Amino acid sequence: MFLKFSATDSKSGSRVSEVVEAESMPALINRLKSEGYEHIRVLPVTTTKRRKREWVLPHRVSGKELKIVTRQLAVTLAAGFMLTEALESIAGDLENTYFSRIIHNIKEDVSAGTIFSAALAKYPKIFSKSYVAIIKSGEATGWLHKTLANLAQYLENNERLREKVKASVSYPLFVLFFAIFIVTVIVVFIIPRFEGMFSQLNAELPLITRLLVGTSEFLIEKTPFILIGLFLLTMFVLLSLRFKKVQYLADALILKIPLVGKEIIHKSLIARFCRTLGFLISGGVSLSTSLNITSEITKHCQMQDSIQAINEHIVAGGMISEQIKTQPLFPNLVYKMVLLGERVGKLDEMLNRTADYYEEEIEFSLQKLTALLEPALIVFVGGLVFVIVVALYLPIFRISELIK
């Protein structure tokens, strides 16, 4: 059952209030007393309220929330807090009740003797394999707070790149969808009004007007079939992507998209590979394990195959630079940086520097793409509206001739 309690922490004197899962009220009160809480008050949470809250706040943890919690853990542990104290403090401050409950459950597991990495591994949708692997290496070295600080930096870099991509494409997408909305309104509501007026004129309409009116009639009459067709096409594509060969083909085609494929998607794959692999190696994870984890979190079939080929070469006793050189997906710069890292014994540092370079390249490419797309979309929307206006008003300008 779910219970809401409020109590005073005898150590810090702070007041804590949250919703937790317990067998009964007495069991929760005994547990809180054993943890050093005083002035305990427990109230039941009805199933209806809990379901309503979970419907409003779905079971989801954003990258930003994970990044903040990781940074908070690093700071509190560095300040001398025990892990259970840090988790309890963070859980009480979270606005996301689902994430708060997860952190509290992890704290309970750690209090019961479960190692921190094993407690995190119970929630793979929130804490990825790379996240758990780094925490495990931090536990082995005894420098968990430093490991968490590096992990927070890694998450912040990923989140920063994601936000840059989002910000760059948001405006062009807004313009595109706004244009679709405007054209839909014109086709569905405005053109039929003009069509009624044109039908009263016993004269041949201009070609552009006839095409526009015909298009409007077709879209209005066939809208149900168009929507059903789009739905079936979407379902077919989604089902087809479950097959390895289709997914492999789709990933290959994505890299061939003009302007976007090579300049943004390809560079993003390289940057993510270098950042993740360098981060895992710097955290004390073995090279082979790091490659396996990097492959698992990569959502691109060609990149996964390349990483697996590199890992097989490593297991056989080869150098990572030798195999990277043979993989067409990796640019020559990656090979040179990895080779240098192997020679000087700083592979993780060279990988992180390579990731920095490609992330800067992605940002520059996004700026160029935005600079091209914005005027192109404005011209497209303006031209579309101009054609529609001309098509609708050209017969009106010639109305005297049409009447005769």
37 and 179 housed in the same domain: no
Residue where a domain stops, chosen among 56, 81, 103: 56
pLDDT value for 48: 40
Residue 121 lies in a domain: no
347 and 211 housed in the same domain: yes
- Say how far apart CA 208 and CA 197 lie, in whole Å: 16
Indicate which CATH number applies to the domain containing 226: 1.20.81.30
Residue 402 lies in a domain: yes
pLDDT value for 401: 55
Residue 345 lies in a domain: yes
Residue 80 lies in a domain: no
What is the number of domains present in the chain?
2
* Upper half-sphere CA count for residue 80 (Cβ side, 13 Å): 0
Residue 144 lies in a domain: no
pLDDT value for 307: 92
Residue 177 lies in a domain: yes
178 and 45 housed in the same domain: no
Residue where a domain stops, chosen among 9, 29, 56: 56
198 and 342 housed in the same domain: yes
- Say how far apart CA 19 and CA 43 lie, in whole Å: 9
352 and 208 housed in the same domain: yes
pLDDT value for 332: 92
- Name the residue type at position 221: E
Residue 128 lies in a domain: no
3-class SS of residue 209: helix
pLDDT value for 243: 86
The residues, any chain, with a CB within 8 Å of residue 75's CB and separated by 6 or more, are none
48 and 195 housed in the same domain: no
Question: Around Cβ 24, how many Cβ atoms within 10 Å?
Answer: 11
Which ranges of the chain have pLDDT less than 70? 1-4, 12-13, 19-25, 43-59, 195-204, 398-404
Q: What residue numbers bound the domain in which 314 lies? A: 171-404
pLDDT value for 51: 43
Residue 157 lies in a domain: no
The residues, any chain, with a CB within 8 Å of residue 297's CB and separated by 6 or more, are 128, 129, 130, 276
Residue where a domain stops, chosen among 9, 24, 56: 56
Helical spans, DSSP H, in 241-346: 244-254, 267-282, 287-297, 301-315, 320-326, 332-344
The residues, any chain, with a CB within 8 Å of residue 273's CB and separated by 6 or more, are 294, 298, 303, 307
* pTM for this prediction: 0.69
46 and 181 housed in the same domain: no
Measure Cα distances from 60 to 66, 100, 139 in Å: 11, 11, 27
Which of 180, 216, 185 has its CA nearest to residue 198?
Answer: 216
pLDDT digits (tens, 9 = 90+) for 351-400: 999 998 998 898 888 888 888 887 888 888 888 888 888 887 777 776 65
Using a CB cutoff of 8 Å and minimum separation of 24, what contacts does 381-386 make?
381/175, 381/178, 381/179, 381/182, 384/179, 384/183, 385/182
